Structure 1
């Protein structure tokens, strides 16, 4: 079931990475705190609620394996989601005239987001491989070789 979620995440990646959120159109506060913080909490809690119970029910042991499997899926989904948030924060930083302290804060935020990606790759390598293969297949056969849609300046 977890790999179905990974394939669904790959399928919706194009629309997510081309959304207003990932283009940084909502501003820093709304993007980082509302969608980044609250959205990440909701995604992780939803995964633990939806998949954690069924994994614990099927695990006849202590539940350690079920917790790790569900946490891997949560980490993977957060990595995909927060990479879009990081892209949005970067685009907002490039467009805005922040103070030097705010620029430092945004740089530290981006470093934290970048550190999350190898962590997800190390903790959930099979899910990342399935995601990469799925994105490649969708890119070639479903999306027609186009992943990021370039928008004109006045759109």
Structure 2
């Protein structure tokens, strides 16, 4: 079941990265705190609500494994979501005149999100491989080699 969520995340990656949110059109506070913070908690608790209860109910020897698989799935979903939020914050930084402290904060956000990706690769390599393979197949077939729509980016 977890791999179906990974495939769903791969299928929804292009529509997510082409939204107004990922283009940075909502402003820093709304993008980072509202969508980034509350959205991350919603994704994390949503994954654990859907899959964590089954992992906690399983008292046999596979209970720990099921719980760790749920944590890996949540980490993969969060890394995809937070990479979009980080991209949006970077786009906002390019268009705005932030103070030097705020510029440093945005760079720190980008560094943390980049550091999240290797940890996902290390903790969930099979899920990442399935996600990457699904993205590649979708990119070559359904999306016709276009990931970011230029007409959507110029609106």
Q: Smaller-chain TM-score range?
A: over 0.9
Aligned position for 1:20? 20
Superposed CA offset, 1:76-109 (max 9, x none): 0000000000100110111111011111111111
* Stretch of structure 1 that moved more, 32-41 or 56-65: 56-65
Aligned position for 1:132? 132
What CA RMSD, in Å, does the superposition of the two structures yield over aligned residues?
1.5
Cα distance in 2, alignment partners of residues 81 and 52 from structure 1: 20
Cα distance in 1, alignment partners of residues 62 and 9 from structure 2: 30
Structure 1 residues 97 and 115: alpha-carbon distance in aligned structure 2, compared to 1, 3 A threshold? same
Structure 1 residues 49 and 20: alpha-carbon distance in aligned structure 2, compared to 1, 3 A threshold? same
The answer to whether the 8 A contact 1:59-1:66 is kept is no
Cα distance in 2, alignment partners of residues 8 and 74 from structure 1: 13
TM-score normalised over the length of structure 1: 0.94
Shift of 1:53: 1.0
Cα distance in 2, alignment partners of residues 59 and 87 from structure 1: 41
Superposed CA offset, 1:48-68 (max 9, x none): 010011233345137322221
* Stretch of structure 1 that moved more, 53-62 or 63-72: 53-62
* Local SS of the residue matching 2:98: coil
TM-score normalised over the length of structure 2: 0.94
Aligned position for 1:32? 32
The runs of 5 or more residues in structure 2 that have no matched partner are none
The answer to whether the 8 A contact 1:18-1:149 is kept is yes
Cα distance in 2, alignment partners of residues 64 and 107 from structure 1: 37
The answer to whether the 8 A contact 2:55-2:64 is kept is no
Q: Give the count of matched residue pairs.
A: 155
Aligned position for 2:98? 98
Structure 1 residues 76 and 153: alpha-carbon distance in aligned structure 2, compared to 1, 3 A threshold? closer
